[in-house]
Amino acid sequence: MNAPAPAPAPARRPNVVVILADDMGYGDLSSYGNELIETRHIDGIGRDGVRFTAGYSSAPLCSPSRAGLVTGRYQQRFGFEQQVSSGAFPERREVREDDGRLAPLQGEAEFLRRGIPTTERNIGELFSAQGYRTGVFGKWHLGHAPQFLPQNRGFDESAVFYGNTSLQSTRLDDPDLVSIKVDAHDEAKDTAWTREGLNAVRRNGQPVEVDQYLMFYFRDQAVRFIEESADRPFLLYFPMNSPVPPLQVPREYFERLRGTISNIAQRGYNAMLLAQDEVVGAVLDALRRTGVENDTLVVFVSDNGNAVSRPGSNAPFSGGKFTTYEGGIRMPFMMRWPVRIPAGLVYGEPVSTLDILPTAAAACGVPLTGAQPLDGVNLLPYLETDAPGSPHEALYWKLAGYAAMRLGKWKLYLEPRAGIARLFDLEADPAERHDLSTVHPEVFADLMRRYREWDGSLPPRGWTNISPVFKK
């Protein structure tokens, strides 16, 4: 009698890799219009999968954008509208209580409660609960009190800095490094361009000394994580510390563009993009070498647009970081999964970084029980078929003095404190130059009503950032 055939091995659950650029403008990649360089590795994600032409972040600023991405919810729903911090811990003044204990710093309690509340489930927590190995390497910027740290919020491994921006290298006199001043931050006495305080690198919560160019250190951590996780499903969140300043570039990349780009700052910025492209290439190569490329959903996106004071490009859009013009919120956005997403797809309906979590969860069979109701949607049905309609009826933004809403081709732009309210037709006027609020008053009134209803459903802002830009 023949022995029964062995049961087929259960199908391996897919992996997820989310790569997040920092302050990368819409026009910074060659696949989105940069004619100065070729970003072939990053572009390959869209070439082998889908490239979104109307991909949005949920905020034109680092911290709140990241909070929306990792929760799949408008971050305003849990009070996370502004930055959690810059780069420095609050300075402690020598003030004593009556019993001799050092008194808390004024405002320190508020500073330490800034982050994603524990009532919200982030992507690390949801995937970890389903047996996924989870790792995050790069810029965290989601709070630094214990309840907000990655090792306490679902990530098995982390190598991150908690603050806004960390130096790529502390060896400022290194002849193999080019450092270029690009905006007022580089001159500020209280600059956040340090490797101290919140910008110190911590591995699994413990400070570590990094002699390497920092982006390359995070690259090596991500590659090692993939190699060590090849035998089980994993989630890799890779929030890169580039191309945001400080503009410190390995001279090798800077010299590649000599004779091609004459402006020094522009050359340095594009050299950093080349370095970043090769870092992404190393991560993609690790997926190939370990044999998990076809089993991995890869997402590439930026957290917000480039600041207009810097040499990057938000073309063809107006505005940039901090504002809700398209240049601040419309991002390079690509997704690849060979077994499910057709190669070479270009998708033009509006999508959001809010969609990353529900799409990844659907791809991997991760239940969303315990998560609050999501604002993002699973994009896979829209990419695998000719599904009619748009994933979102409307998208909303709110950041201190700026707000916006998109409904189909219509864009409502608001600066409430300045009394500015404008209506744009993004199909005819993607650069938002022509206010149509008096030409189409009925459309303007409808969008204003919808925005006010959404805004009225939100709780109060959890904190007010001390930056002059957002202090009002």
Q: What percent of the chain has pLDDT over 90?
A: 76
pLDDT at 385: 77
- Find, among 173, 175, 174, 193, the residue nearest to 183 by Cα: 193
Q: Hey, which residues does 15 pair with through a beta bridge? A: 296
- Intra-chain end-to-end CA distance of the chain, in Å: 82
pLDDT tens for 299-347 read 999 999 999 988 999 999 999 999 999 999 999 999 999 999 999 999 9
Q: pLDDT tens-digit profile of 350-384?
A: 999 999 999 999 999 999 987 889 999 999 999 98
Residue 181: CB atoms within 10 Å: 14
pLDDT in tens, 168-219: 998 877 889 999 887 766 654 445 577 888 899 999 999 999 999 999 999 9
Which of 150, 146, 172 lies closest to 161, judged by CA?
150
9 has a pLDDT exceeding 50: no
Q: Is the pLDDT of residue 71 over 90?
A: yes
Query: Are 273 and 22 a contacting pair, CB within 8 Å?
Result: no
pTM of the predicted model, to two decimals?
0.92
Q: What does the pLDDT read at residue 135? A: 98
Q: Is the pLDDT of residue 468 over 50?
A: no
